[in-house]
Structure 1
Amino acid sequence: MEEHFVWVTTRRLRPGALEEFERAWRPAPYPQGLLRSYAYWSDDGQEVTGVSFWASREACDAWRGSGPETQRRAAMAPYVVEEREGFYHGRELAVPQR
């Protein structure tokens, strides 16, 4: 069974800041060890949850401590009111076919 390493961040944004936040949010360069990433936002555009899948916890930790990630967080900061994050590991659950 394949194990996944997942970093989840949820940010509450200032009203009307979603578009500017999205420009600041995209990493450059893309991190080594990042396999997939998804973004989900609330209907009002004031909460964004990012879910990223990593090759290993070490790859994620290396990115989180990197200069480009520090710069990315600084670019997002003017639009963020609150931030929560967590690192998880787990596996895909089988969904029965109907």
Structure 2
Amino acid sequence: MEEHFVWVTTRHLRPGTLEGFERAWQPATPPEGMRRAFAYWSEDGREITGVSFWDSKDACDSWRASDPEAQRRAAMAPYVLEEREGFYRGRELAIPHHS
């Protein structure tokens, strides 16, 4: 099974700031080494979880230490109340199908 390198960030937002946050959140250029990215919002728009898939931990670390990422984080900061993040390794699970 293919191994994945994944960065997950969950942010709690100030009420009514989802639209502004989304504008600040989008990177100006696609990060090198990022394969795919997903965003998931809570129903009330107060929590957002980003999941990105990377070529390697080094590729993710390199982006996280870059100037564009620092600028992006500074732009997001006014909207964010709390943030949790972490890097993970894993794989897709095989789901058995019942007939």
Point out where structure 2 has 5 or more consecutive residues left out of the alignment.
Answer: none
What amino acid maps onto 1:85 in structure 2?
Answer: E
Q: Which residue of 2 aligns with 1:60?
A: 60
Tell me how far apart the structure 1 counterparts of residues 2 and 42 of structure 2 sit (CA, whole Å).
30
User: Which portions of structure 1, spanning 4 or more consecutive aligned residues, are displaced by more than 6 angstroms?
Assistant: none
Tell me how far apart the structure 2 counterparts of residues 93 and 52 of structure 1 sit (CA, whole Å).
17
Query: Could you say what the CA RMSD is over the residues aligned between the two structures, in angstroms?
Result: 0.5
TM-score in terms of structure 1 length = 0.98
Point out where structure 1 has 5 or more consecutive residues left out of the alignment.
Answer: none
Q: Which residue of 2 aligns with 1:77?
A: 77
- Within 5 Å, which residues of 2 pair with 1:1-98? 1-98=1-98
Identity %: 73
Report how many residues are paired: 98
What amino acid maps onto 1:38 in structure 2?
Answer: F
**Post-superposition shift, 1:28?**
1.4
TM-score in terms of structure 2 length = 0.97
Tell me how far apart the structure 1 counterparts of residues 46 and 91 of structure 2 sit (CA, whole Å).
29
**Post-superposition shift, 1:97?**
1.9
